[in-house]
Structure 1
Amino acid sequence: MKNLRSALLILAVVVMFPMNALANELARGYSDNELIQILTTDGYTAVSQIEDGMIRIKIDGRSYILFNKPDGDLQLYYAITGVDISYVDVNEWNKTKRLSKAYLDNDNDPVLEADLLANGGISHKHVTEFFDIFLLSVSSFRDFILENDAS
């Protein structure tokens, strides 16, 4: 009986390992279509390609841009318009927050960006977690910007 349990346990591990390995398989990068598929599989429905290397994800009326760089790196971008924020406030954000960077663009609109480097390989899970964490950062960023809006 003990041998049968051991054999069943080993069989279960062997059967489950390939499924886990496939879900976490590392790639040097993904095509735009693969990224769209990863995001839609993760539940995001309004995902579209703007142009080569540029994907828009819309959630609750907000647009996020995913840049798919030629070297496989990914960059997420979010901007807020119609606010008056100083570079001092943006610097404060950058000093106190991790995993993203903020700046004022050419129109003085606050922008939040984050990068996922692909040089060590990335998986579907890396992509979805990168996007999920960025959404959390954007939520905090919006609150911060609106609290410091001088308009």
Structure 2
Amino acid sequence: MTAFRTAFAALAFIAGSALSLPAAAQMVRGQNPQSVLAAMKAGGYSGATLSTDKGGDPMINAETNDTKFAVFFYNCKDNKDCATVQFYTAYKAEKPIALERINEWNNSRRFGRASLDKDNDPVIRMDVDLDDGGMPQALFIDNLEFWESVVVGFEKHIAS
């Protein structure tokens, strides 16, 4: 009986320790949009809001450096249990942006895929895979910070 109590106490300690993990160690998962929102807020996006897109999938609206962007959830099953997210922002071009300029961005950078939308306005997007267990909150925040640098770089690129 003593061995049983010792094993039970050890299991209870492990379970209790797992429940008290610091926020930085929590996982961000596409299946849990609230975990994505919480990570964004922990990363300084206090104004981020969770809603749904036209198709009913989760979506987060946020802003970085005065640029509004969306976080779209993809590979969802019945508008939940999503596997991936995409950071996305679009611009209204003051002057036409040549397709060659967009291609130059795509050919010279690994992150941040650019294109022209149906109105020939530039858009930039970056995918993040959160399937198979997600990623630690600190790594997700690092991806957000990288997204910020992509947005700044793209804005400079299309302005020149």
TM class by shorter chain equals 0.7 to 0.9
2:68 maps to 63
Query: Which segment drifts farther, 84-93 or 125-134?
Result: 125-134
Aligned to 1:88: 100
- 1:78 maps to 89
Residue 39 (structure 1) aligns with = 40
Contact 1:80-1:110 at 8 Å conserved across structures? yes
1:2-151 → structure 2 map (5 Å cutoff): 23-24=24-25, 26=27, 28-51=29-52, 52-69=57-74, 70=76, 71-83=82-94, 84-120=96-132, 121-147=134-160
Instruction: Measure how far apart 1:25 and its partner are.
Output: 5.2
Q: For residues 87-121 of structure 1, what are the alpha-carbon distances to aligned partners after superposition, in whole Å with 9 as ceiling and x for unaligned?
A: 11100100001112100011111011111112453
Q: Is the 8 A contact 2:29 2:35 kept in 1?
A: no
TM-score, normalised with respect to structure 2: 0.71
Are 1:29 and 1:122, in contact at CA under 8 Å, matched by a contact in 2? no
8 Å contact from structure 2 (residues 28, 39) kept in 1 = no
Change (3 A) 1:142 1:61: same
- Give the drift of 1:126: 2.4
TM-score by structure 1 length?
Answer: 0.75
Write the distance in 2 (CA, Å) between the matches of 1:27 and 1:66. Answer: 13
User: Conserved in 2, the CA contact under 8 Å of 1:49 and 1:56?
Assistant: yes
Q: Secondary structure at the match of 1:46?
A: coil
Q: CA RMSD for the aligned pairs?
A: 2.4
Give the number of aligned pairs: 131
Unaligned runs of 5+ residues in structure 2 are: 1-16, 77-81
Q: What one-letter code is carried by the residue in structure 2 that aligns with 1:95? A: N
- The letter for the 1-side match of 2:122 is P
Shift of the alpha carbon at 1:43? 1.6
> Any idea what SS the aligned residue of 1:107 has?
coil
Question: Aligned residues: percent identity?
Answer: 24
The 2-side partners of 1:82 and 1:27 are apart by: 34
**CA separation of 1:42 and 1:95: change in aligned 2, threshold 3 A:** same
Deviation, 1:30, is: 4.3
